[in-house]
A and B are shown apart, each in its own frame.
Chain A
Amino acid sequence: MRTLSRLWPYVRPVRTRLFTAAFIAVLASCIGLVIPLVLKWMVDGPIADRDPAGVWLGALYLLLLGLAEALLFGFRRWLVARPLSHVEAEMRADLYRHLQRLPIAFHDRWASGQLLSRATTDLMLLRMFLAFPLTFLLVNGVTILVGVSIMLVQDWTLGLVILIPAVPVLITCVVFEKQYSRAARQAQDQVGDLTTVVEESVLGIRIIKGFGRHRSQARAFRELSGKLRGTELHKARLLATILGIIVTLPELAIGAALVLGAVQVADGELSAGTLVAFLSTALALRWPVDSIGFLLAMSQEAATATERYFEVMDAEPESGSTASPAKDGGPREGLRFENVTFRYPDAPEGSPPVLDRVDLHIRPGESLALVGATGSGKTTLTALVPRLHEVTEGRVTLDGRDIRDMSRDELRSRVAVAFEEPTLFSATVGENVLMGGGSGEEDLDRALAVAQADFAHALPQGTATQVGEQGLSLSGGQRQRLALARAVVGRPDFLVLDDPLSALDVHTEAAVEAALRRVLADTTALIVAHRPSTVLLADRVALLSGGRITAVGTHHELLRGNAEYAHLMSGDPAEELEEQR
């Protein structure tokens, strides 16, 4: 429950309205408790005295109180409607903002579904918590206290009888809260697991079908959903127990009060009106008491949701940079890796670094191909340049400046990247490409031409066609070409291309290469390459092996002089090449 206090900074701006609303709810609730007193007055006064005018007056009081109660409850809701939606929206915007700035390593670990459920379900639970349980735990508490006081004042013996069940009910609530919270968290986690199976079975559908594995997937799904059902039933039993107790004990107390009250009325110690008022007060307290169970359950779920929300919000964003002012007209030195060591922040202790003291210099205007065996860390190396990952040791410099001394914004505006996995966003083709910089039709057309992505003009609305999850789906090759266009559209000083042509067919690849060569003529570029054809785009080649740069030279130099390189490029076993020489 303490975790809920972390919501305060978000609630603070709307606290006035929230507190006013709570106060009004208490007021409205207490009006409900005055109604029985009016009844008592009517029964013992005008009714007993046969006074019609008094009856009218009593009914008028009732009507006014009823209208006041209705309006106050409505006013409470009106007060909080906008502010609470606002709190929810603020928290969501903060989460989104924060997530966009968390290190890539964080996103590697977290499935998007897990993040999404925090941005939607969890925040909705929190809004509902602020709207109901938070207010009504207070309101009901006050109502119960006031109601019990009224009853004690009217007849203290009956009042005490009514109070007897309070202790066992409270104890049950405390015990219940603990157990229920454990079950609730378990259910939430099991839903997460189930979602993962669903996600995988959809994303891997071709493999499942290709190997006829749908039965075992279905079995895994059945097991998990069966487990979830078990947990949900456990939750239901807990809830049923608490509700059973909350219903029975107070009702028994009311029954006892009724019998005792009736005896007292018969003995003339108590007026009939008092008994009626007493019982209607007790019944008016039924909802405040009954609802405690579900209010606590909701609070518990809100606490879990808060925990889940802050789990993400507490993650450290990318470390800041000590942005020193740009030295204009500094020497054009190109891109340099100096003694760069990298290990993933979440790598197990003592595992070898992915990159180990890498030294590499790409001269201004030069393009360098990076070649290495599968899994040798080429993609990791490229990710260091736009600071998607931070070097563990050593430094990377652009024209002599450490990239950590630039603001990320400046750095990323100077370095353009095309990833192996091309991602398009829900926007038009033109907008997607122009995200890379540049402006206007001319740049767009030029970039599309370079990437051989002229198919974009033939789409239903040309370059204004919507793509992404909400629009037209494009093939892998088409997306790759648009991603390439995005990388070159802003005429960046530095270009990082991670195997940019893997999904293209031979014709298209040749055409793209021809056009890229012109772009690369005056761009400093680092290109991850698997194929000789891609390597030939570059002026020089660097070989990455065992986390280190083991050779640098032209394609032909390395092909002749480096067995490993020759092996990577031609596929012939290294030994044979050694012999041939």
Chain B
Amino acid sequence: MTAATTAPVRDEDDDRTPQESGDPFDRDVLPTPPGATGALLRSLLAPMRGRVALTALLLLLQQAAVQAGPLLVAYAIDSAVPAFRDSDHGPLFAVAAGYLLCASAAGALQYAFITASARVSQDVLLDLRGRIFRHAQALSVDFHERYTSGRLISRSTTDVESLRELLEEGLQELVMTILSAVYISVLLLWLDLGLGAVAVASFVPLYLLVRSYQRRAQRVYRKRSTAIAAVIVKFVETMNGIRPVRAFRREKANDADFAVLNRRHEKTNGDALLEMARYVVGSRVTANTTVALIVLWGAYRVAGETLALGVLAAAVLYLRRLYDPIDRLGMFLNSYQSAAASLEKIAGLLAQTPSVPEPAAPRELPGRRSGLPGREVVFDDVRFAYRTGGEVLPRFGLTLPAGQTVAVVGSTGAGKSTLAKLLARFYDPSDGRVLLDGVDLRDLTGRDLRREVVMVTQEAFLFSGTVAENISIGRPEATREEIEQAAREIGAHDFIAALPDGYDTDVRKRGGRISAGQRQLVAFARALLADPAVLILDEATSSLDVPGERAVQRAMATVLKGRTAVVIAHRLSTVEIADRVLVMERGRIVEDGSPDELIGGTGRFADLHRAWRDSLA
């Protein structure tokens, strides 16, 4: 939506779609290994075991302080008042002191508990956010090609959010409810076994009620989350495609589609609220009936002088507190259910293993053999097939001497991009090895590999920040002079200088509109600054005009002279600067030679080239 955002482009080699429709990636269900969700939760909490225990202790003490009140009431009525009548003021002082102590302790402990539990839950969230982020970054490009960006974003936003709600509101509530239920039951039983037993007995219908609510609510909530997901997809799609929406007058049709989805969500939402209403009535009826029963029996016994009045008063006060939080238990179940679903999705994501792992025992690259700044690339008996099946590149061998510029041409789906991605180690070959100056790419650390091999793709994505920052991604320590120099070499300096704040223009802010062609120039400046030994251009000039493309070629001929370069292009103009041309078809290299040889020959390349030349005449 902002000028600098482009949707990720699936590359041309992805014409393998038909066999993919049964893939778990197509429906948002990554396989979550059994127990992974629990293991994730444990591993998140394990490092703060001590603090969790402290938080629990604080809560335990806080509840003890809070629940002491009615006990003091009973003592005041049954003991302190008669004692006071006998001019013994001690017990009443004790009550006063006790109440003062409990009240202050309850407040202070409340403060301590909330801050402690916030720290635990925030640290869990920080850890989890970081893990998702790092893991997503570590997963290889083939994963990202299949797991849409929207899903990944919702994993680290909405799913983490629902866990936050659980941790911050639900969990506290649940523990407090259970804890106070236990405390109060024990106190009631201690005050009077009979009355306590009645209260405990009321837990049975309450439990059944909660169970049935949970089951019914789960159904409704599942429907609701599907409904809201559909609303979100429609919404995002419309906003991201707002230009075609307008141009093709989709507004009314969209309004109608959206209304259907929105109403479905409205209905499930209403259903969920009604389930809740039913539950509230049930739990309240149970609670209030129990209170009436206990008062009846208690009052009967007070009248018969087998029970002290103070005890009855305390029991009644306790019962209110016992049943008050039960409504909120329902709310907790809701947030628990959505958080469990989210956590499962996150666990599924974290269970994915990067298919392009870092080496266990990395090797150093040798010094440059050739005396040139470039390095030799060898595809040694390489074969590549997707893990889901579907061979893209049958077994082949290829040697690119250091310093050679190789153009790869061929139609959509010929396997050009796959070749490039193997060289950039976005994928690893299914068989065989890719060697850089004799070292298997799999033995190089990411840092070494990325310093030596740089790939510029068709999608010229700009990160938020200034133009200069975007260029210096290629070499973060570069000075402003070096950045400007790179931009000048590639012919991007003039347009950058004309932006409102020149190199300091924020690409996402006012006046930062940057066209597709200009974005590609920035991407080139980035690559130029990185100064790699091997440069891969994958359709990197598709949005450039001819002078832009020429500037890129000039820069490659001068600044990047002696580097090994692999250039994939639809445009044959690019091929002119190549030392060598590979024509690919259905995963195989069908023609290989210098441009002049191929143009002079009778192969496919000669035909293509002739047609292209004609268009320039």
The 6 nearest A-B residue pairs measured at CB: A66-B288, A255-B99, A212-B450, A248-B107, A236-B118, A74-B281
Rounded to whole angstroms, the CA-CA distance of A255 and B237 in the bound complex is 60
Partner of A233, one of B2, B122, B150, B513: B122
Determine if A262 and B111 form an interchain contact, defined as CB atoms under 8 angstroms apart. Answer: no
Rounded to whole angstroms, the CA-CA distance of A455 and B296 in the bound complex is 80
Determine if B284 and A476 form an interchain contact, defined as CB atoms under 8 angstroms apart. Answer: no
Q: Which of A88-96, A303-311, A325-333 contacts B (4 or more CB under 8 A)?
A: A88-96
Rounded to whole angstroms, the CA-CA distance of A533 and B114 in the bound complex is 69
Q: How far is the CB of B35 from chain A (nearest CB, A)?
A: 27
Determine if B92 and A262 form an interchain contact, defined as CB atoms under 8 angstroms apart. Answer: yes
Partner of B303, one of A47, A346, A507, A533: A47
Given A47-B303, A374-B548, A258 contacting B141 (CB threshold 8 A)? no
Contact with A along B1-32 (1 / 0, CB 8 A): 11101111111111101101100001000000
Which residues of B lie under 8 Å from residue A206 when comparing CB positions? 141, 144, 426, 455, 457, 459, 461
Determine if A508 and B76 form an interchain contact, defined as CB atoms under 8 angstroms apart. Answer: no
11 cross-chain CB contacts under 8 A: A59-B295, A236-B118, A244-B110, A255-B72, A262-B95, A374-B517, A475-B10, A502-B542, A506-B571, A530-B546, A570-B546
Q: Which of B227-235, B368-376, B593-601 contacts A (4 or more CB under 8 A)?
A: B227-235
Which residues of A lie under 8 Å from residue B53 when comparing CB positions? none
Q: Which of B198-246 contact A (CB under 8 A)?
A: 228, 231-246
Residue B586 at the A interface, CB < 8 A? no
Which residues of B lie under 8 Å from residue A240 when comparing CB positions? 110-115, 118
Contact with A along B257-289 (1 / 0, CB 8 A): 011001101110110011011101100110111
Rounded to whole angstroms, the CA-CA distance of A433 and B138 in the bound complex is 38
Known: A89-B262, A247-B106, A510-B611. 6 other contacts (CB 8 A): A112-B239, A207-B523, A245-B107, A255-B69, A374-B545, A503-B539
Residue A314 at the B interface, CB < 8 A? no
Determine if A210 and B455 form an interchain contact, defined as CB atoms under 8 angstroms apart. Answer: yes
Residue A550 at the B interface, CB < 8 A? no
Rounded to whole angstroms, the CA-CA distance of A74 and B1 in the bound complex is 45
Determine if A96 and B238 form an interchain contact, defined as CB atoms under 8 angstroms apart. Answer: yes
Partner of A417, one of B112, B247, B273, B608: B247
Q: Which of B128-136, B339-347, B380-388, B557-565 contacts A (4 or more CB under 8 A)?
A: B128-136
Rounded to whole angstroms, the CA-CA distance of A143 and B61 in the bound complex is 30
Given A207-B473, A505-B411, A66 contacting B141 (CB threshold 8 A)? no
Q: How far is the CB of A470 from chain B (nearest CB, A)?
A: 6
Q: How far is the CB of B581 from chain A (nearest CB, A)?
A: 13
Residue B292 at the A interface, CB < 8 A? yes
Q: How far is the CB of A539 from chain B (nearest CB, A)?
A: 16
Which residues of B lie under 8 Å from residue A252 when comparing CB positions? 99-100, 103-104
Closest A-chain residue to B155, C-beta based? A198
Determine if A388 and B1 form an interchain contact, defined as CB atoms under 8 angstroms apart. Answer: no
Rounded to whole angstroms, the CA-CA distance of A121 and B162 in the bound complex is 11
Contact with B along A462-497 (1 / 0, CB 8 A): 000000111111111110000100100000000000
Which residues of B lie under 8 Å from residue A486 when comparing CB positions? 244, 248
Determine if B277 and A236 form an interchain contact, defined as CB atoms under 8 angstroms apart. Answer: no
Q: Which of A524-561 contact B (CB under 8 A)?
A: 530-533, 536
Given A116-B236, A200-B463, A473-B10, A78 contacting B292 (CB threshold 8 A)? no
Which residues of B lie under 8 Å from residue A156 when comparing CB positions? none
Determine if A426 and B237 form an interchain contact, defined as CB atoms under 8 angstroms apart. Answer: yes
Closest A-chain residue to B146, C-beta based? A473
Residue B351 at the A interface, CB < 8 A? no
- Max count, chain B CB within 10 A of own CB: residue among A85, A113, A222: A85
The total of chain B residues at the interface (CB under 8 A) is 189
Contact with B along A96-114 (1 / 0, CB 8 A): 1101110010011111110
Q: Which of B40-48, B181-189, B316-324, B479-487 contacts A (4 or more CB under 8 A)?
A: B316-324
Contact with A along B334-378 (1 / 0, CB 8 A): 000000000000000000000000000000000000000000000
Q: Which of A147-155, A177-185, A272-280, A441-449 contacts B (4 or more CB under 8 A)?
A: A272-280
Which residues of A lie under 8 Å from residue B34 when comparing CB positions? none
Determine if A504 and B76 form an interchain contact, defined as CB atoms under 8 angstroms apart. Answer: no
Contact with B along A54-77 (1 / 0, CB 8 A): 011011101101110111011001
Q: How far is the CB of B354 from chain A (nearest CB, A)?
A: 11
Q: Which of A7-15, A213-221, A390-398 contacts B (4 or more CB under 8 A)?
A: A213-221
Which residues of A lie under 8 Å from residue B17 when comparing CB positions? 459, 472-474
Given A258-B99, A473-B17, A195 contacting B303 (CB threshold 8 A)? no
Contact with A along B143-157 (1 / 0, CB 8 A): 010001110110011
Residue B33 at the A interface, CB < 8 A? no
Residue B502 at the A interface, CB < 8 A? no
Q: Which of A38-46, A334-342, A358-366 contacts B (4 or more CB under 8 A)?
A: A38-46
Residue A134 at the B interface, CB < 8 A? no
Determine if A207 and B547 form an interchain contact, defined as CB atoms under 8 angstroms apart. Answer: no
Partner of B510, one of A121, A346, A475: A346
Determine if A348 and B265 form an interchain contact, defined as CB atoms under 8 angstroms apart. Answer: no
Rounded to whole angstroms, the CA-CA distance of A459 and B15 in the bound complex is 10
Determine if A507 and B133 form an interchain contact, defined as CB atoms under 8 angstroms apart. Answer: no
Determine if B76 and A262 form an interchain contact, defined as CB atoms under 8 angstroms apart. Answer: yes
Closest A-chain residue to B460, C-beta based? A207
Determine if B449 and A81 form an interchain contact, defined as CB atoms under 8 angstroms apart. Answer: no
Partner of B273, one of A85, A115, A208, A244: A85
Rounded to whole angstroms, the CA-CA distance of A376 and B127 in the bound complex is 47
Contact with B along A273-305 (1 / 0, CB 8 A): 001100110011001000000000000000000
Given A46-B303, A116-B235, A262-B77, A198 contacting B153 (CB threshold 8 A)? yes
Rounded to whole angstroms, the CA-CA distance of A245 and B103 in the bound complex is 10
Determine if A77 and B276 form an interchain contact, defined as CB atoms under 8 angstroms apart. Answer: yes
Q: Which of A142-195 contact B (CB under 8 A)?
A: 191, 194-195
Given A81-B277, A280-B320, A251 contacting B571 (CB threshold 8 A)? no
Which residues of A lie under 8 Å from residue B250 when comparing CB positions? 425, 435
Rounded to whole angstroms, the CA-CA distance of A344 and B509 in the bound complex is 13
Which residues of B lie under 8 Å from residue A213 when comparing CB positions? 473
Residue B396 at the A interface, CB < 8 A? no
Closest B-chain residue to A294, C-beta based? B169
Rounded to whole angstroms, the CA-CA distance of A242 and B263 in the bound complex is 39
Given A99-B239, A374-B495, A423 contacting B244 (CB threshold 8 A)? yes
Determine if A530 and B303 form an interchain contact, defined as CB atoms under 8 angstroms apart. Answer: no
Residue A201 at the B interface, CB < 8 A? yes
Q: How far is the CB of A532 from chain B (nearest CB, A)?
A: 5
Determine if A221 and B133 form an interchain contact, defined as CB atoms under 8 angstroms apart. Answer: yes
Rounded to whole angstroms, the CA-CA distance of A52 and B269 in the bound complex is 49
Which residues of A lie under 8 Å from residue B193 when comparing CB positions? none
Q: How far is the CB of A360 from chain B (nearest CB, A)?
A: 19
Rounded to whole angstroms, the CA-CA distance of A388 and B242 in the bound complex is 10
Determine if A374 and B521 form an interchain contact, defined as CB atoms under 8 angstroms apart. Answer: yes
Q: How far is the CB of B226 from chain A (nearest CB, A)?
A: 12
Residue A578 at the B interface, CB < 8 A? no
Residue B399 at the A interface, CB < 8 A? no
Rounded to whole angstroms, the CA-CA distance of A421 and B568 in the bound complex is 20
Partner of B153, one of A202, A504, A570, A571: A202
Residue A1 at the B interface, CB < 8 A? no
Which residues of A lie under 8 Å from residue B123 when comparing CB positions? 229
Which residues of A lie under 8 Å from residue B422 when comparing CB positions? none
Residue A440 at the B interface, CB < 8 A? no
Determine if B546 and A92 form an interchain contact, defined as CB atoms under 8 angstroms apart. Answer: no
Residue A436 at the B interface, CB < 8 A? yes
Which residues of A lie under 8 Å from residue B1 when comparing CB positions? 107-108, 110-112
Contact with A along B511-554 (1 / 0, CB 8 A): 10111111001010010001000000001001111111110000
Which residues of A lie under 8 Å from residue B255 when comparing CB positions? 93, 96-97, 100
Q: How far is the CB of A260 from chain B (nearest CB, A)?
A: 10
Partner of A236, one of B115, B236, B274, B285: B115
Given A74-B278, A201-B133, A477-B12, A469 contacting B150 (CB threshold 8 A)? yes
Rounded to whole angstroms, the CA-CA distance of A536 and B616 in the bound complex is 9
Closest A-chain residue to B143, C-beta based? A205
Which residues of B lie under 8 Å from residue A81 when comparing CB positions? 270, 273-274, 276-277
